Amino acid sequence: MKKTFLLLVSIVLILLIAAGCSSKSARDEAPSEQSIGNSSYGESINRGGEKGSLQASEDLARPPADTAGGSEEFMPETENIGGVNRLVAGMGSKIIKSGAMTVETLEFEETTSAIQRRVQEAGGFIASSNIQGWSREDAKYKPMRTASYKVRIPSEKFEHFMNAVGELGNVIRSESWGEDVSAQYFDTEARLRSLEIQEERLLTILSRAEELKDIIELERELSTVRYEIESLTGTLRKYDNLVAYSTLEIEVREVERITESEKEPVTLWEKIGKRFRDSIEAAGRFAEGVLLFFISAIPFLFLLGIVLLIPYGIIRLIRKKSLKNIN
């Protein structure tokens, strides 16, 4: 009995040892799923290099296809940055640049000629110009000459052109600004593409239409779409022109002496002195104006005196005659 029990225990131990060895061997021969995944990923990177890793990242970023409704084209999300989404911002901004300058000069003709010449050299053109007044030699008490120009300059040369004009005289005013029309531009462009697609569809339907009333209705709708297309096309051309060529308004003033820039008074005595000098200059200008008025009015006063002397002499003659008659 004892021998039989020992025999059964020995058989069970042998079976357990054999089962353990077989499972260990199976684990060593069959690689795990994780090792398979890591190995294939590493091989794909080693074989493809940077291009393979970029393709792998793009595949991960691509959303899965809809098995129920079929695959759809993936459209990237856009962020709103300053009123323009990220996709539009990548296409380039549309900035309309404008500016204004006022320049004093002692050599009026040379300055205006130089401005016209530099506009041509920059590849721009003069949209409008106006010159009025008298030269310094002929002006005396009349206003001296001023010239106003509205010029269009290529946007990439706009700042350089303003600096070049500033070198022609004493700049007393210079400002520039820009208007971002990117959102309006690309919105108009998107609407235009949509209308062009609608036009193609209407043409396709019109080619298949057979009944007269359908043809008339389609042609009416097609006419409306084409009118909107022309309007949006004109808007885009206007934007392109304003973006490509910046607008600068230039005023050139002929002066007897260049205006000197004064430091702003800081202390109380400096402010009092400036106010006193300003009041003296204002009083001098007023006295000069009054004197000029009286000098210019002398001929009129002379004529007025003659007109008044005639009735006065007549009245005296009448009085003399009346006194003689009484006597």
Q: What is the 3-state secondary structure (H, E, C) of the chain?
A: CHHHHHHHHHHHHHHHHHHHHHHHHHHHHCCCHHHHHHHHHHHHHHHHHHHHHHHHHHHHHCCCCECCCECCCCCCCCCEECCEEHHHHCCCCCEEEEEEEEEEECCHHHHHHHHHHHHHHCCCEEEEEEEECECHHHHCCCCECEEEEEEEEEHHHHHHHHHHHHCCCEEEEEEEEEEECHHHHHHHHHHHHHHHHHHHHHHHHHHHCCCHHHHHHHHHHHHHHHHHHHHHHHHHHHHHHHHHEEEEEEEEEECCCCCCCCCCCCCHHHHHHHHHHHHHHHHHHHHHHHHHHHHHHHHHHHHHHHHHHHHHHHHHHHHHHHHHHHC
Statement: residue 115 has pLDDT above 60: yes
Owner of token pair 């009346």: 322
On the question of pLDDT at 257 being above 50, the answer is yes
The proportion of the chain whose per-residue pLDDT surpasses 70, expressed as a percent, equals 67
What pLDDT, on the 0 to 100 scale, is given for residue 262? Answer: 55
What is the distance between the alpha carbons of residues 106 and 111, in angstroms, rounded to a whole number? Answer: 9
267 vs 113, residue with greater confidence = 113
Whole-number pLDDT of residue 248: 96
Query: Among 70-74, 240-244, 323-327, whose mean pLDDT is lowest?
Result: 70-74
Q: 279-311: per-residue pLDDT in tens?
A: 888 888 888 788 878 788 888 888 888 888 888
Residues 6+ apart with CB under 8 A from 93: 84, 180, 182
Question: What's the whole-number mean pLDDT along residues 136-157?
Answer: 85
For residues 119 and 257, membership in a common domain is answered with: yes
Does residue 222 share a domain with residue 306?
no
Whether residue 60 lies inside any domain: the answer is: no
Mean confidence (pLDDT) of the chain: 75
Let me know if residue 23 belongs to a domain. Answer: no
The confidence score (pLDDT) of residue 144 equals 84
Residue 230 shares a structural domain with residue 277: no
Give yes or no: residues 250 and 187 share one domain.
yes
CB atoms within 10 A of CB 130: 10
pTM of the model: 0.52
* Distance between first and last Cα of the chain: 198
User: What are the backbone dihedrals phi and psi of residue 191, each rounded to the nearest 5 degrees, phi first?
Assistant: -65, -35
Q: How far apart are CA 12 and CA 40, in angstroms?
A: 43
Based on the fold, state whether residues 182 and 198 are members of the same structural domain.
Answer: yes
Q: Which of 138, 139, 236 is nearest to 186 (CA)?
A: 236
User: What's the mean pLDDT in 55-73?
Assistant: 35
What is the number of structural domains in the chain? 2
> Residue 263: its pLDDT value, please?
60
Cβ count within 10 A of residue 246:
25
Is residue 43 scored above 50 in pLDDT?
no
63 has a pLDDT exceeding 60 = no
Residue 255 and residue 197 share a domain: yes
Q: What is the pLDDT of residues 209-235, one digit of tens each?
A: 889 999 999 999 999 999 999 999 999
Which residue, 214, 235, 261, sits at the end of a domain? 261
| 76 belongs to a structural domain | no
Does 270 share its domain with 217?
A: no
Give CA–CA dist 226/196, Å, rounded. Answer: 8
User: Do 235 and 318 lie in a common domain?
Assistant: no
Rounded to 5°, the CA angle 23-29-32 comes to 90
> Which residue's structure tokens are 């000459």?
145
Q: Are 192 and 229 in contact (CB under 8 A)?
A: yes
Is the residue at 33 inside a domain? no
Which of 211, 243, 261 is a domain's end point? 261
* Same domain as 311, residue 206: no
Q: Is residue 274 part of a domain?
A: yes
Asked, for residue 219, whether it belongs to a domain, the answer is yes
Task: Give the per-residue pLDDT at 242.
Answer: 95
pLDDT digits (tens, 9 = 90+) for 187-216: 999 999 999 999 999 999 999 988 999 999
Q: Does 195 lie in the same domain as 149?
A: yes
327 in the same domain as 196? no
* Domain extent for 270: 266-327
The residue from 212, 227, 261 where one domain ends is 261
- Which tokens hold the place of 254? 């002929």
255 and 270 in a common domain: no
Kindly report, residue by residue over 95-110, the tens digit of the pLDDT: 999 999 999 999 999 9
Pick 111 or 35 by higher pLDDT.
111
Cα torsion at 288, 292, 293, 297 (round to 10°)? 160
| Dihedral (CA of 29, 30, 32, 35) sign | positive
Residue 38 lies in a domain: no
pLDDT tier, 322 (very low <50, low <70, confident <90, very high otherwise): confident
Alpha-carbon distance 290 to 292, whole Å?
A: 5
Q: Is residue 65 part of a domain?
A: no
In a 13 Å sphere around the CA of 241, the CA atoms on its Cβ side amount to 8
